[in-house]
Amino acid sequence: MQNLLLGMGTALVAVAAVVFTAVNWNRFGATAQGLVLVVLTVLAGLATTVAARRRMPSTAEALGLVTLLLALADAHAIRVGIVPGLEVTRFWAAALVVVSLGGWALGRATGVRSTRIATAALAQLPLPVVLIGTDVGPTACESLLVLQAAVVITLVVRARKALRPARVVAASVSVATWGLVSLVALASVPFEDGRDRLGPAAVLALAGATAALVAWLRGSEEVDRSAALLSASVLGFTAALVVADLEAPGDLTAPAMAALAVLVLAIGTRVPRRWGQAPSGVAAVTAGAASLPVLGASAAVAAAAVEVASSPWSAGAGVNAASLVPDAWVVPSSGPLAMHLLLLAALVLAARPVLGRRLAGLGLVLTATTAVLAAPLLLPLSAGGASAVALLGALGAVALAGYFGDRRPVLITGAVVATITAGQAALWAVAAAATSLVAGAAIALLAAALAVAARRYHEPVVAVPAAIVAVLAGAVEAGVAFAANGSEGAVPLVAASVAALALGLICCQLLDPAGRRRDLDGVLSAAVEIVAGVVHAWVLLVVVGTGDAQAATVVLAAGVLAAGLHAARPGRRALALVAVAEALALSWLQLGLAGVSAVEAYTGPLALVLAATGLWVDRRARRGGETLSSWVTLGPALVLCLAPTVVVGLGDTGLVRPLGGLVAGALVLVVGALTRRRALVDVGVAVVALLGMRQLAPVVGELPNWATLGVTGLALLAVGATFEQRRRDLHDVKDRYESLI
C-alpha cells in the first residue's frame, strides 16, 4: 500500500511539474530554465534514492530513468545558457561522459538497474561524437571505434560482478559497432585503388584481432567462441588477401592465402584444451576457402575436357590441353598452382592432430586427385597426355581400393576417385580415335579390377556399379573399335550390342552359372545381365528405327543366342520367352527380305510357338493332377494357324489354298477325334465346313432347280424313314462331343 501511495504521489508531482513548466517555461530565461531543470534533476535523484530505500523498486526504476533524461536536458540547458560558444561535439562528448558517470553512480548507490543499463549504452557515444567533429580520416575513425569496442568487451567480460543486463547491453552495442565498422571496411575494399586499400585492410585486421580477443576472453562459451573465431578468421583472411594482392599480385595471391591457412590451422591446434575443437574446426573451415582457387583450376580443365568431348576425334591427341581452356576461366600459372597444392598438402598435415589419420589421409587423397585433374595446367601435356595422367590417377585409386579394401571408407573413396579421374580421362581421350581405344580398354579393365576387389571385400555398393561400368565400357570399346576401322552406319552399334551380350554371358557363367544365387555374386550376375539386355534393346530400337535390315538381323540373331544360353540356366528359364520372341522377329525379318508374301509363312512360326507352349502347360497341369481344356492349350495355336488360310481361301479363286485348307482341316478333325480333343474337332469341322461350302457353292448354283429340289426331298424322306435311329445317333454324337476335353 505504501509503494502504491508513494508511486501515485511521485507521479502527481511529476505531472504538476510538467504542467507548470509547460505553462510558464517561456517566461523564464535560459539561465532560469537551466536552474529549474537542475533542481528537478536533483529532486528526481533524491526521489530515486528514497524510493529505493523504501523498497519501491518499480518507482525507483522509473525515477532513475527520469533522472537520467533530466540530466541530458540539464546538459543542453548549460550548453545554451552558460557556454553557448563552446564547440558542440566536444561539449556533448564531455556531457555524455559526465551523465554516464553520474547515472552509473546513481545506479550503484541505489541499486537501480535502469540507469546502469542506459548508461552502458550512453558511455559508448562520446567517442563517435568527438570523431564527428574532427577531420580524422576514415581509417583512423574506424580503428578507434574498433578499439573502443575491444575495450568495452574486455571490461564487460572481466566485470563479472556487474549487473548482467547492463553487461549485455554494453556488449551488444560494442558488437554492433564492431560489425558495422567491419562491414564498412569490407565494402570499401573494392572501391579503393593501389596503396589506399591498406587502410581498410588495417581496419579488417584490427577487427579480426578484436574477434580473436573475444574468443580468448569467452573461452568457456562454445557458441560465442566459435562465432568469434570464425569472424576473426574471415576478417583476418580478407585483410591478408588485400595485402597479398598488393605485395604479390596475380598468381601468388592464392598460395599466400594457403600459407596463411596453414599458419592459422597450426595455431588452432595448439590453443587451450578447454576450448575443445572449436578453434581448429573454425580454422579448418576458413582454411578450406584457400582451396577454392585450386578447385577453380580443376573446373577449368574439366570445361576444356568437355569441350574436347563435344567434337569427337577432331581436336587431335597432340593438341596442347591447357590451350583448350575457355577464355572465360581465369587460371593460375603452373608455378603458383603447384605451390598452392603443396601448401594444401601441408595444411592437411598440420590438421592431422585434430582430424585424425583417417580424415587426414582423405585430405591428402583429395589433394592428389585435384593435382591429377589439374595436371594440364601443371605440365605441358597434350590431350592424350592429359588422358594418360588421369588414367594413372584412376589406376592408383583402384590399387588403393584393392590394397586397403578391408577398410570400407578407403574402398569407397578409391572408387569415387577412380570414377572422377577415369571420367576425365575418357573426355580427353575423345580427342582422337587411338586415344579413345586405349582409354576405353583401360577403363574397362580398371572397372573390372575394382569390381573384383569390391567382390573380395563383400561391398555391393562398389562392386555392382563397377561391374556395370566394365560391361558398358567393353561394349563402347567394341563399337569404337569398329568405328575407328572405318565401319559406317549401324555396324559400331551392332558390335557394341554383341559385345555387351557376350560380356554378360561370360560374367553370368563365372559368377552364377545356375542363376539361383542370392549372395553378392548373384546380385552382380543379375546387374550385368540387366545392363547387357538394356544395351541390346537400345541398339535394337535404334537399328530398327534406321531401317537397316542387315544390322537388325545380326542384332536379333545375337539376342536369340544370348537369351537361349541364359535360358539354359535353371534359374533363368523365363528368358526362353525372350529368345522365342526374338527368333520370331528374326524369322519374320528374313521372310520379308526373301519376298515371301504367303500369310501362313508368318503365322505358322507363331502358331508353333503357341502350340509348344500349350503342350508344355498341359504337361505341367497333368503332373499336378489337373486337366485343362484343349481350347486353353491348343486352341489359340490352331486358330492362328488355320484361320488365315480359311479367310484367304474363301476369296481365292484357285484350288491350291482351299484344297490345302480342306486337307489340313480334315487331318485336324481326324486327330482330334482320335485324341478326343474338342478344340481340334471344332476347328477341323469349322475349316472343312467353311471351305467345303465355298467349293460346293458354285457347283450347287449350276444345278437345275428340279435336281436341287429332288435331292432335298430324298434327303428328307431318308431322315423321316429313319428318324428314330437318327435321333439316337444325334444323342450319341452329343454325348461323345461332351466327353471331349
634-657 pLDDT per residue, tens? 888 888 888 888 888 777 766 777
Residue range 24-50: average pLDDT?
A: 66
d(Cα 155, Cα 147) in Å, to the nearest integer?
A: 12
User: CB of 63 within 8 A of CB of 14?
Assistant: no
The reply to whether 184 and 278 lie within a common domain is no
What pLDDT band is residue 416 in, cutting at 50, 70 and 90? very high
354 falls within a domain: yes
The reply to whether 230 and 341 lie within a common domain is no
What pLDDT band is residue 537 in, cutting at 50, 70 and 90? very high
667 falls within a domain: no
- Model confidence over 683-698: pLDDT tens digits? 888 888 887 777 665 6
The phi-psi region of residue 676 (left if phi > 0; otherwise alpha if psi is between -120 and 50; otherwise beta) is left
684 falls within a domain: no
| Total structural domains within the chain | 2
- Which residues lie below 8 Å from residue 528, measured CB to CB, with a gap of 6+? 467, 468, 471, 503, 504, 507, 508, 511
* Domain end among 373, 401, 425: 373
The reply to whether 256 and 237 lie within a common domain is no
User: CB of 455 within 8 A of CB of 514?
Assistant: no
The reply to whether 278 and 233 lie within a common domain is no
The reply to whether 235 and 253 lie within a common domain is no
Angle at alpha carbon of residue 450, lines to 445 and 453, rounded to 5°: 125
255 falls within a domain: yes
- Model confidence over 288-333: pLDDT tens digits? 666 777 777 888 888 889 988 888 888 888 888 888 888 777 677 7
The pLDDT of residue 597 is 80
572 falls within a domain: no
Task: Please provide the distance, in angstroms rounded to a whole number, between the alpha carbons at the two ends of the chain.
Answer: 111
The reply to whether 186 and 268 lie within a common domain is no
* Domain end among 211, 242, 273: 242
576 falls within a domain: no
Range of the domain at 223: 137-242
The reply to whether 261 and 217 lie within a common domain is no
User: CB of 515 within 8 A of CB of 570?
Assistant: yes
The reply to whether 178 and 234 lie within a common domain is yes
User: What grid cell was written down for 627?
Assistant: 486337366
The reply to whether 202 and 272 lie within a common domain is no
Average pLDDT of the chain is 78
Angle at alpha carbon of residue 727, lines to 722 and 730, rounded to 5°: 125
The reply to whether 154 and 233 lie within a common domain is yes
Residue range 582-602: average pLDDT?
A: 86
Which residue would you say has higher pLDDT here, 35 or 209? 209
Residue 374, phi then psi, degrees to nearest 5: -90, 15
177 falls within a domain: yes
- Which residues lie below 8 Å from residue 420, measured CB to CB, with a gap of 6+? 369, 373
218 falls within a domain: yes
- Which residues lie below 8 Å from residue 632, measured CB to CB, with a gap of 6+? 614, 617
* Domain end among 242, 273, 302: 242
The reply to whether 195 and 286 lie within a common domain is no
The reply to whether 144 and 173 lie within a common domain is yes
Which residue would you say has higher pLDDT here, 153 or 442? 442
- Model confidence over 240-286: pLDDT tens digits? 767 666 555 545 555 666 666 666 665 555 555 545 555 555 556 65
d(Cα 209, Cα 348) in Å, to the nearest integer?
A: 25
Give the pTM: 0.65
